[in-house]
Structure 1
Amino acid sequence: MTNTNHAHNFQAIERLAAIQQQGGDADSIWSEFERSLTEVFGQRLFTVLAYDEASSRLGRLHSNRLDINPVGGLKRVTQSRWSDQVLRRGEIFVGSSREDIKAVFSEYEMLWSIGCESVLNIPVRKNGVTLGTMNLLGEAGLYDHADIGLALVFAQLAVSPLEDQVHRLRGLEDPDFMEQV
């Protein structure tokens, strides 16, 4: 699902540009991304992950469900179809069903339990390098007709705030347990 009201979508983009131009803090910026992307694409779960290729880790910067996806959580990046597509090639991933969720997420049962049966993973890149991802999960088939071009516009608006936080991952120690993607 993509909101096809172009004026409404442009207003969401304007809000994101304004908060960054005004020097909003990271929490405010990610909250506005959550609001805007929810209005445009819909979601039950929204997260933002920073990616550090050197350490093969993703670090959670924002989540609208802190009870299940707390900020600061780390994931180990393994060699997979998803990591090749999203992190290395920088291509958007659309998963339509429970099977797609299970193929990508080790925590698929928890995601299913909150009604997440589809996913839109939007890589955020600068100069061909992936800085992280914005991730929307919702009911089955929700993103089948998502406007990928519009998702890429939102990704470019996320470059600056994400870039500011990527370097922090390198200094963090690995926890005892990390989910894998």
Structure 2
Amino acid sequence: MAHIDYYFSMLSPYAYLVGDRLEQSAKRHGATVTYKPFDIVAAFPRTGGAPLPARHPSRIAYRAQELPRQARKLGMELNMTPAFWPTNAAPSSYAIIAAQKAGGGDLPGLVHCLLKACWVEDKDIADDAVIKSCLEGAGFDPSLADSGLLSGAETYAANLEQAVSEGVFGSPFFITDSGEKFWGQDRLDDLELYLAGKI
């Protein structure tokens, strides 16, 4: 059975655009997925990247065209100027880590609920009420937002170190157990072809 480590940032609009496609692809090919939220802002200077305000104007302008274009292609809503962005990505990341450890709910649904809250619904995903609402909606105990803080923080830090050591430099980033790497939501089709043994 194939396995995918999925590295992503809760600040990433491209991670929002993944939607449910990763999980659907994994199901079609009998693959498992480990969700690994990480601190992309801390990763940038270690991997040659830069936060959005520090990028060249041409890169910022391209992003402003590309994101809405990709959203339209996927039939997804996207707010390019969310009310709470950037925000503290740690609390929602901790909740995802705690939910994955606890099991029993819809983890992909939780991730998408939180990302949609930021990129469509103008909610602050650092807000405890927003996190607990998404946990409950995805079938998890909302108290995981509190009880998972310590272990979540430790895993979040470990995810960053593992991401850097494995060559992750952006979000979303997918690594198979055979070491194949795919960067970007627009590479999910390639990941699917790889899982199918076609490339």
Compare CA radii of gyration and give the structure with the larger one: 2
Q: Whose strand proportion is higher, 1 or 2?
A: 1
Task: Give the TM-score taking structure 2 as reference length.
Answer: 0.29
TM-score between the two structures when normalised by the length of structure 1: 0.31
Greater RCO between the two (CA within 8 Å, min separation 6)? 2
Which structure has greater helix proportion? Answer: 2
